[in-house]
Structure 1
Amino acid sequence: MSSPNELFWAARHPPADPTTTTPFHNKTILVTGANSGLGHDAATKYASLGANPLTLAVRTPEKGAAAAKGAIVAATGCSPDIFIIETFDLASFSSVQAFAERVIARVPALHVVQARGGIAIPGFGRSEDGYEMAFQVNVLANALLGMLLLLPKLQETSATTAVAGRFVPHLSIVNSIAYVEVKLEWIAADETLIERINDEKRFDMNSQYCMTNMGRNHPLVLRLFMVVFYFIFGRSAELGSRTLVSATDLGVESLGRFWTKDEFLP
């Protein structure tokens, strides 16, 4: 974990905003959690950089329509025709599986998956599948979606000649302080699945602490504390999304390395 000095410096020295449209022009991009926070800002950047089609995956159609035809179109001037709106619920394995099947059937290729969906809840609850809610949503469902259901489509895209130049398909799965209560389980699931698929083509990135609405259900005192904390040490979701997007433009030189502040750490 970064020291307070490093966090303070990073908050005041944000990464560059990706502006080169070539890597993502007419690329098929999927963003989950696209209605708010890092997911929404990453989707906005992909739209401005020419992604087409851009799938926005949210929990309800209303959220998807508002994100696509409202904020993103207004911010970027992109055509509303580039969007595919999909709904699914990470709290339901059957919903995740059905969603992945629809995506695979609908798009001929898949170049980037930004799995940004997640929750941060103060209390205990179980999903319809019987797991603790945060554990299922933040760990199990994201692992199922990204590393088991959609990864073969990404690998298929990578193996075809349709990917021009140096572009390499990417799978990016959220991992942040908001999920601290399930972080150890997530790391274990991540490592186990990587071993299972026998794939070492991986690198890590760090978008730093980003202010989103993830903690909206926490007690008032904690929310007030986080406002002060993020003011001193944090970044906006827009600044954090710059790292998410730039990381998905990295090539094979990134494998086994750590991407942060627009550079690889030694």
Structure 2
Amino acid sequence: MDLGTVALAAGVIGFLRYWALPQIRKYFAGGVCKSTARLDGKTVVITGANTGIGKETAKDLALRGARVIIACRDIAKGEAAANEIRLETGNQAVLVRGLDLGNTASIRQFAEAFLKEEKNLHILINNAGVMMCPYSKTADGFEMQFGVNHLGHFLLTYLLIEALKQAARSRIINVSSLAHVFGRIKFHDLQSEQSYDGGLAYCQSKLANVLCTREMAKRLQGTRVTVNAVHPGYVHSELVRHSTLLSLVWRLFSFFIKTPKEGAQTSIYCAVAEELDSVSGVYFSDCHPAFVAPQGRNDKTAQELWDVSCKLLGIRWT
């Protein structure tokens, strides 16, 4: 090979490595929250913040001075994450509290303890979730993905809503997914007892997040509490652990998959951006309003799902 060819090859490799690939990677990384808002004196609850995008969200909000409560099932992992966040941010007000979203008794215990300890809640980020797991049921008999991703967070929000209303201004962020596009609410078989497909059950739960965000925004008008949903993007996380296929795809295309920090940006944006003070009922992706599938904009379905959810949980939310 002559020197000219070697030089050309080196130039092409250099171009790809130092300019083209970083530009492509930047595109797939998505939006970045540019807000410098401080959260001193504000209390935040983030479910599932012991790992992944929840942990990165907790770290960012702790850096802004918030009192951050990591609500998770695995206390040991939660404490490890909290210790790391305290060391990196210098914020000692990062606490861990037990919460199993697959058990309504645990959700009620968490809420009761929170309301005894805290006066107000300024930001609630319903982040935790399960994805494409083998068929199983929660402690209360709900299909696991519908029970955790939707009903668990629905009940938690209901139990904490008065603390949110008491804050001067407060925000609820529901972490949904682009997967809602493939979802359908199967009112005739919400618990997938007649047939079960892990992927479709996940899509149903994420559609439920979008629909209930829409309905909740209407019901919270005039309360100074806003609620929005987010799609974090395709992120390196433990969420795909139940799917061998997705785990393989994630590894093969890892260059195009977001890091947890990148995936957390839209949740952070919806939690702190000043321009969103009065924005409610919107679905965001990459820190911008995003497309919502027609079934996610169906008010009749949203209201019916709301009513059914209240009935399943034995609550009355007017």
* TM-score in terms of structure 2 length: 0.67
Structure 2 partner of 1:42: 57
User: Take 2:212 and 2:33, find their aligned partners in 1: how far apart are those partners?
Assistant: 32
Q: Which runs of 5 or more structure 1 residues have no equivalent in the other structure?
A: 1-7, 159-167
Secondary structure at the aligned position of 2:70 is classed as strand
Aligned Cα RMSD in Å?
A: 2.7
1:111-130 aligned at under 5 Å gives the runs 111-130=122-141
Structure 2 partner of 1:156: 166
User: Take 1:27 and 1:249, find their aligned partners in 2: how far apart are those partners?
Assistant: 11
Secondary structure at the aligned position of 1:254 is classed as coil
Provide the aligned length of Structure 1 versus Structure 2.
241
Please point out which of 56, 59, 75 is paired with 1:61.
75
TM superposition shift of 1:17 = 4.7
Q: Which runs of 5 or more structure 2 residues have no equivalent in the other structure?
A: 1-23, 180-198, 292-318
Q: Which has the larger radius of gyration?
A: 2
Structure 2 partner of 1:241: 264
Tell me: higher relative CO, structure 1 or 2? Use CA pairs within 8 A at least 6 residues apart: 1
User: Take 2:264 and 2:206, find their aligned partners in 1: how far apart are those partners?
Assistant: 21
Structure 2 partner of 1:213: 238
TM superposition shift of 1:87 = 0.4
Contact 1:210 1:230 in 2 (8 A): no
TM superposition shift of 1:63 = 1.4
User: Take 2:280 and 2:156, find their aligned partners in 1: how far apart are those partners?
Assistant: 22
TM superposition shift of 1:257 = 4.8
Residue 28 (str. 1) matches residue 39 (str. 2): no
TM superposition shift of 1:92 = 0.3
Contact 2:176 2:229 in 1 (8 A): no
Residue 199 (str. 1) matches residue 199 (str. 2): no
TM superposition shift of 1:202 = 4.1
Structure 1 partner of 2:87: 74
TM superposition shift of 1:259 = 4.2
Secondary structure at the aligned position of 1:16 is classed as coil
Q: 1:185 to 1:104 in 2, by over 3 A?
A: same
Secondary structure at the aligned position of 1:214 is classed as helix
Deviations 1:81-133 (A, max 9, x none): 31221001011011111111111111121111111111114310111211111
User: Take 2:280 and 2:159, find their aligned partners in 1: how far apart are those partners?
Assistant: 22
Deviations 1:141-162 (A, max 9, x none): 111112x11122111113xxxx
